[in-house]
Amino acid sequence: MARGIIKQQWQRWDGLGRGSTEEKEAKRGKDISPYTRLVKIADEYSIKHIKEEKLPVSAIFEMVNGMPERLKGLFDPNFFGEFLGVIQPYAMGHEVELNTGEAGVVVDFNKKGRPCRPKVKVLKKGKKEVEPRDVDLEKVDNRLIIRYESNPDDCSKYYYEKS
């Protein structure tokens, strides 16, 4: 298995990679071993992680959000979605600002479908506090996270009423 992964390490999902000395031609898509496809994603993530040494949460956010566009064609899109379901670029309790001027905290994440679109408890519009409300970014395409703070808040206070 390890030999197969190593032989295909230069392959790309879109077929623009190069073949190994034994294979001569590049493979594409599902012709690439699933193990190689998985290792490529983890490798790209770990290279960036190691390069930064102590990676702040905001850097993980920027890296994971940039990976799909920056590395288009390199990864199996289904595997990349699974990868994001494990990494979770938005941790619960962290503050976010949306492109609408709203701000709040991440209260849950979407494991399936669109993991980069968490559920947010909106608490402010600009500098003004608003009635707290939940916004599931997976269900609304007109709101985007533009800023992510790595100072986690205790998000349990947004779930439970104080007695």
Instruction: Tell me, rounded to whole angstroms, the distance of Cα 113 from its chain centroid.
Output: 12
- Residue 71's pLDDT is 66
- Residue 163's pLDDT is 39
> Domains of the chain: which residue ranges?
2-87, 95-158
Answer for the pair 127, 110: CB distance below 8 angstroms, yes or no: no
Instruction: Tell me the C-alpha distance between 79 and 65, whole Å.
Output: 15
> φ, ψ for residue 93 (rounded to 5)?
95, -10
Provide the pLDDT confidence category of residue 69 given band limits of 50, 70 and 90: low
Q: pLDDT at residue 53 above 60?
A: no
85-103 confidence digits (pLDDT tens): 677 677 778 888 999 999 9
Q: What is the pTM for the complete model shown?
A: 0.59
Identify residue 88 by its one-letter amino acid code: Q
For domain 2-87, give the fold. Answer: Hypothetical protein af1432 (1.10.3210)
Q: pLDDT at residue 160 above 50?
A: no
Q: pLDDT at residue 127 above 80?
A: yes
